[in-house]
């Protein structure tokens, strides 16, 4: 069925990497090969398994986040308002719906990361909503009435709030794969690339259709 991104099923949305030996997050081919072969949860944990030292601090994590965010925003740059509203990018979703979805998960990060810092445990989506897919459907319906301009404004406002929040988190939450960093990664810099990839693929499909017509 394809890879699953925070509950959204997307066909073939693996992160695109260059041939220069490093991906957009700065990990080399050696670590990536272990990620693929061992099914690790992250390049960082695989690096530790194979004895490779991967030093992480707030600055490095923010660098990964910024690169992934810039790539995500570049994926829909230049699209007109009607194009942003066109369905069929991922299932029935438009680019506008994807932007609202990405904001939803950043809002979830802002909601639950403070609890995790206090050693609390966020409620399970399976208990609260019947699963992540059901939560995504609920939030999509809830945000359906938002105008495109409202979605775009929320996208930037919530992201700015998230970055500001990260700036004030204790440094020890970044230097190892803490519960905090794990949740942050899932909701942000490992989430954006999958949707950027989906948008890029949709744009290519749309361009081919225009040429054929």
Q: What is the pLDDT of residues 88-120, one digit of tens each?
A: 999 999 999 999 999 999 999 999 999 999 999
Please indicate, yes or no, if residue 178 is contained in any of the structural domains: yes
Query: For residues 199 and 83, is the Cβ–Cβ distance under 8 A?
Result: no
Please indicate, yes or no, if residue 129 is contained in any of the structural domains: yes
Please indicate, yes or no, if residue 115 is contained in any of the structural domains: yes
Please indicate, yes or no, if residue 83 is contained in any of the structural domains: yes
Between residues 29 and 112, which one has the greater pLDDT?
112
In this prediction the pTM is 0.77
Please indicate, yes or no, if residue 5 is contained in any of the structural domains: no
Q: Is residue 126 pLDDT above 90, yes or no?
A: yes
Between residues 16 and 208, which one has the greater pLDDT?
208
Please indicate, yes or no, if residue 31 is contained in any of the structural domains: no
Q: Is residue 29 pLDDT above 70, yes or no?
A: no
Structure confidence by residue, pLDDT tens digits, 66-91: 999 999 999 999 999 999 999 999 99
Check the CA dihedral 64-154-181-166 and report its sign.
positive
Between residues 25 and 175, which one has the greater pLDDT?
175
Q: 172 lies in which domain range?
A: 56-212
Q: Is residue 187 pLDDT above 50, yes or no?
A: yes
Domain tally, the chain:
1
Please indicate, yes or no, if residue 12 is contained in any of the structural domains: no
Q: What is the CATH number of the domain that holds 134?
A: 1.20.120.450
């Amino acid at each position: 069925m394809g890879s699953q991104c925070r509950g959204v099923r997307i066909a073939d949305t693996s992160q695109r990497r260059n041939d220069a030996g490093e991906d957009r997050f700065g990990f080399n081919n050696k670590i990536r090969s272990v990620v693929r072969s061992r099914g690790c949860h992250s390049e960082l944990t695989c690096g530790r398994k194979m004895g490779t030292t991967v030093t992480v601090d707030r600055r490095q994590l923010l660098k990964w986040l910024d690169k992934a965010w810039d790539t995500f925003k570049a994926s829909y740059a230049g699209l007109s308002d009607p194009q942003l509203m066109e369905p069929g990018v991922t299932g029935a979703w438009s680019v506008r719906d994807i932007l609202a979805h990405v904001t939803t998960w950043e809002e979830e990060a802002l909601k639950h990361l403070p609890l995790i810092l206090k050693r609390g445990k966020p409620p399970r989506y399976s208990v609260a909503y019947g699963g992540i897919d059901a939560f995504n459907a609920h939030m999509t319906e809830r945000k359906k009435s938002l105008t495109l301009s409202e979605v775009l404004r929320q996208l930037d406002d919530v992201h700015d709030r998230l970055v500001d929040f990260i700036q004030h988190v204790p440094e020890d939450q970044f230097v190892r794969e803490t519960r905090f960093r794990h949740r942050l990664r899932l909701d942000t810099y490992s989430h954006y690339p999958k949707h950027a990839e989906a948008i890029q693929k949709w744009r290519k499909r749309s361009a081919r259709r225009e040429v054929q017509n």
